[in-house]
């Protein structure tokens, strides 16, 4: 094992650190089970190094390095996964190796989709209200686009009440990851009271208001990743900016949303608040 990873590394330095870590931590057969395992050592180390380094992209000294890092990681995964498939072309590939390739691809997708998420504040002295209601985001979109923001932004549908723990906003930079501090500050100011500080997440989540009309209306808000199969229900967050382009957002309803508080339920593997 090695010492803790240093901060403010360049991409080559970060990759080199995790390569050393992988060499020290990956246990591979050293007996006569075959040349296949010996030929697999280099791509195994490279794939684990890339997987671990992708989880540490926020340590990069310069945010401008992120696009290059993602491109190089993509090329590296393709190269070393291909090498393993070639080595094991005539034999069933070990599930360890299959999972290693899947982990690397999953880490790459997570790095591309990562961003910052704001959730509705728990009810307490700091925020005594039992709901958060966003206004129309046209002014926020205008300020962000004027500042040069070219990423993605989702916010709560204007005029719709969200309840404790529910995601209320998501933003990510052009090439994934949280936006700059200036952009985060502008979003914080626009959201105002009622949401917790932003937290890093692997990708955007949507909340769906689900109904049981036999019981007379909505029963809960279900939170799932945006890339999950679309469940029944009314989506509660809307896209405001997509890849630096403003999206149309409907005006809020004329009447205030008087919905009683609903339980916020998180799908499998989704962290709650």
pLDDT digits (tens, 9 = 90+) for 39-84: 888 888 888 888 888 888 877 767 678 888 999 999 999 999 999 9
Per-residue pLDDT tens for 236-269?
Answer: 999 999 999 999 999 999 888 889 999 999 987 6
What's the pLDDT score for residue 85?
93
Q: Residue 128 corresponds to which tokens in the numbers above?
A: 């005594």
What's the pLDDT score for residue 1?
39
CA distance 115 to 79: 27
Which residues fall within 8 angstroms of residue 218, CB to CB, at 6 or more apart? Answer: 209, 210, 211, 212, 259, 262
Q: Read out DSSP for 123-174?
A: SSSS---S-EE---THHHHHHHHHTT--SEEEEEPTT-EE-TT-EEEEEE-T
- Tell me if 208 sits within 8 A of 187, measured CB to CB: no
Per-residue pLDDT tens for 90-116?
Answer: 888 889 889 989 999 999 988 888 999
Q: Helix 35-54 vs helix 65-87: angle between axes, to the nearest 10 degrees?
A: 160
CA distance 100 to 94: 10
Q: Say whether pLDDT at 9 is over 70.
A: no
Tell me the residue ranges of DSSP E strands in 28-131.
115-119
Q: Say whether pLDDT at 163 is over 70.
A: yes
CA distance 197 to 127: 13
Query: For the stretch 38-48, what's the b/e string if a residue is b when 16 or more beta carbons lie within 10 angstroms of its beta carbon?
Result: eebeebbbbbb
Q: Give Cα 60 to chain centroid, integer Å.
A: 18
What's the pLDDT score for residue 32?
47
What's the pLDDT score for residue 267?
85
CA distance 166 to 157: 13
Of 69, 135, 138, 112, nearest to 203 by C-alpha is 112
Of 165, 157, 164, nearest to 134 by C-alpha is 157
């Amino acid at each position: 094992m090695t010492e803790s990873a240093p901060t403010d590394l360049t991409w080559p330095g970060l990759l080199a650190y995790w390569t050393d870590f992988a060499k020290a931590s990956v246990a591979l057969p050293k007996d006569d089970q075959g040349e296949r395992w010996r030929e697999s050592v280099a791509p195994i180390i490279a794939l684990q190094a890339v997987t671990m380094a992708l989880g540490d992209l926020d340590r990069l000294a310069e945010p401008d390095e992120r696009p290059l890092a993602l491109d190089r990681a993509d090329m590296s995964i393709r190269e070393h996964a291909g090498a393993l498939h070639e080595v094991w072309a005539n034999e069933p590939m070990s599930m360890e190796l299959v999972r290693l390739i899947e982990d690397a691809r999953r880490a790459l997708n997570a790095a591309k989709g990562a961003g910052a998420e704001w959730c509705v504040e728990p009810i307490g002295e700091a925020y005594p209200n039992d709901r958060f209601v966003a206004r129309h985001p046209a002014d926020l979109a205008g300020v962000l686009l004027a500042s040069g923001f070219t990423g993605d932004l989702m916010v709560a549908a204007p005029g719709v009440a969200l309840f404790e723990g529910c995601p209320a906003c998501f933003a990510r930079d052009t090439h994934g990851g949280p936006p700059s501090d200036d952009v985060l500050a502008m979003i914080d100011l626009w959201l105002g009271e009622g949401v917790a500080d932003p937290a890093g997440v692997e990708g955007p989540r949507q909340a769906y208001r689900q109904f049981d009309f036999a019981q007379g209306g909505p029963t809960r808000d279900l939170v799932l990743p945006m890339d999950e199969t679309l469940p029944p229900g009314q989506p509660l967050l809307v896209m405001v900016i997509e890849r630096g382009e403003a999206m149309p957002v409907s005006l809020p309803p004329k009447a205030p949303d008087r919905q009683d508080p609903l339980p916020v339920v998180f799908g499998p593997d989704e962290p709650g608040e």
